[in-house]
Amino acid sequence: MTRMLRLGLKTLPLFVALPAVAGPLDEPHLSIIPRTASEVERIARVTAPPQGFDAPQRFEALSAGAATVRVRKDADAFSEPSASMSFESELEFELGKAMFEKLWVSSPSSTKASDGLGPLYNARSCMRCHINDGRGHPPESHDDSAVSMFLRVAVPDEADPMVERIEGYHGTMPDPTYGGQLQDFALAGYPAEYRLQIDYQEMSIPLAGGDKASLRKPTYKAADLAYGPLHPDATLSPRIAPQMIGLGLLEAIPAADILAKADPEDTDGDGISGKPNIVWSERYQMPMLGRFGLKAGRPTVEEQSAAAFFRDIGISNPLFPDAWGDCSLNQSDCRSAPHGDKDVRGTELDETGLDLVTFYSRHLGVPARRDVEDKAVLRGKKLFHEVGCASCHTPSYVTHRLKEEPELGFQLIWPYTDLLLHDMGEGLADGQPEARANGQEWRTPPLWGIGLTEQVSGHRFFLHDGRARSHLEAVLWHGGEAEPQRDAVIAMQPDDRAALISFLESL
């Protein structure tokens, strides 16, 4: 079904069936100042596709508009506050950073503001997975203590009430024994749920011009399960922590601008059929547009943060108040363990703490582009557009004007994502649905900052599970809707492929 959305003087088609209840155009988390008709026209001009590739577009080097931060040469390049913040806001940012880096401890403890860890968990702090606010990586050896990867678990459940409330929703339930996520750490006296085992098979891919690439195909196993087998219908989805920069700006992109690109039936015949994920908001108790997480499973930065505290660290909070975290009903010892919610906080992370972490996560600055005038970069940008990469990796948006947090408002930003779900083919499929996303669909990841991954995170592992060891490998794993773009890259001459990679490195 096609709906039409009127934005000032401009009418945009929405090729998306919206739920009958409150829906994805509702943005209660934002204090929006409506755009004027003249602003709508200006925005259309500045976000239009480039007319040429001989020079950078105006403001292209400012990835986050006025919020763009200078490029640091060290591993803290993703840890700067947005450049447009006030001094008072920077103080709040630093408090949020302290909460983000805090190491949680077991209960009972004399440090009552920090107890409540686990009993089962994947990490003791947010920073433990998002090292230097960058992306995580899979284990490189069996004793790799710096890994930030886990397995999400889901079992199909057509009785899920969301199946009836949200059109196209895929009902799931946690595994009845292990919950919704496998935890590989536990407090003393409790066994960890499992050990992550990954086996790789190398595959050679011939490229035009005599080049070759090698891809590693992973197989995942939940080894040494402590509480018996998983449900026979359980699916496992490997996930590594994504980079943290620019989240508040992504949150401030108008839902209408995202939905305007949705075309789930490929009505325009371009082979790209992105669709929005519509998810249930724990904060607002209504369906909202999903933006965050590898399958766009959370609508806001706050809810993404709260869910991570609950699932990854076992820390209760106002949105997920169970003190035992992801422990299932069958894990009675875990549920009856001492917890850290017996003091004035009410939950192990209280509303103030959640607000601070959310503020920090929203305001991590995006570094400026590098080498935007370099001829190879400009050549690579032209190829990026010519082969159709920009069909999903939408280069630019203008954020809402905001009454609160004005430093995020009305900024021309360059995240290179449409925040929609796309079928990426069987090669990347995890078989696990999440809300409207099926087992072959993933949200288009933002590309800003991707060229600084090695500097920040100390590695070059990409995609949802880190299987790709370079930008080229990441491209070559694209399938499904992106198969024509992948094949075009395979068919490029070596100099053109190198130019394309130079463009990605500049982001």
Query: Each residue of 317-343: pLDDT tens digit?
Result: 999 999 999 999 999 999 999 998 777
Which segments within 130-269 are labelled E, that is strand?
Answer: 149-156, 172-173, 181-182, 185-186, 195-206, 212-223, 235-240
pLDDT of residue 340: 87
Find out whether 297 and 421 touch, Cβ atoms under 8 Å.
no
pLDDT of residue 89: 92
Find out whether 322 and 208 touch, Cβ atoms under 8 Å.
no
Integer CA distances (angstroms), 215 to 110, 472, 499, in order: 50, 10, 21
Find out whether 337 and 351 touch, Cβ atoms under 8 Å.
no
Ramachandran sector of residue 187 (left: φ over 0; alpha: ψ -120 to 50; beta: rest): beta
Tokens of 229: 């087998």
Tokens of 109: 């403890």
* Averaged pLDDT in 10-residue chunks for the chain of 507 residues: 27 36 76 96 96 96 97 97 92 97 93 91 95 90 63 94 90 96 95 95 97 96 96 96 97 96 90 94 95 98 98 96 94 92 84 97 98 98 97 98 93 98 97 96 98 95 96 98 97 98 98
Tokens of 138: 């899979």
Average pLDDT, the chain: 92
- Helix residue ranges per DSSP H, 412-482: 453-457, 471-476
Task: Name residues whose C-beta falls within 8 Å of residue 45's C-beta, 6 or more positions apart in sequence.
Answer: none
Q: List, for residues 365-397, the tens digit of each pLDDT value.
A: 999 999 999 999 999 999 999 999 999 999 999
- What would the 3-class secondary structure string for 350-388 be? CHHHHHHHHHHHHCECCECCCCCCCHHHHHHHHHHHHCC
Tokens of 365: 């600055």
| CA nearest to 190, candidates 342, 349, 347, 336 | 336
For helices 301-308 and 351-362, the axis angle rounded to 10 degrees is 120
pLDDT of residue 139: 85
Tokens of 60: 């292209």
Integer CA distances (angstroms), 162 to 257, 276, 320, 348, in order: 25, 16, 18, 28
Task: Name residues whose C-beta falls within 8 Å of residue 495's C-beta, 6 or more positions apart in sequence.
Answer: none
Judge if pTM exceeds 0.85: yes
Tokens of 336: 């009856």
From CA 257, how far away is CA 233, in angstroms rounded? Answer: 37
pLDDT of residue 239: 95
Find out whether 326 and 181 touch, Cβ atoms under 8 Å.
yes
Cis status, amide bond into 108, omega within 30 of 0? yes
Tokens of 158: 């057509």
Find out whether 445 and 242 touch, Cβ atoms under 8 Å.
yes
Residue 124 half-sphere exposure, CB side, CA atoms within 13 Å? 12
pLDDT of residue 24: 65
pLDDT of residue 433: 96
Our CA angle for 180, 183, 187, nearest 5°, is 130
- Torsion of the alpha carbons at 393, 506, 450 and 379, rounded to the nearest 10: 40
pLDDT of residue 341: 75
pLDDT of residue 140: 75
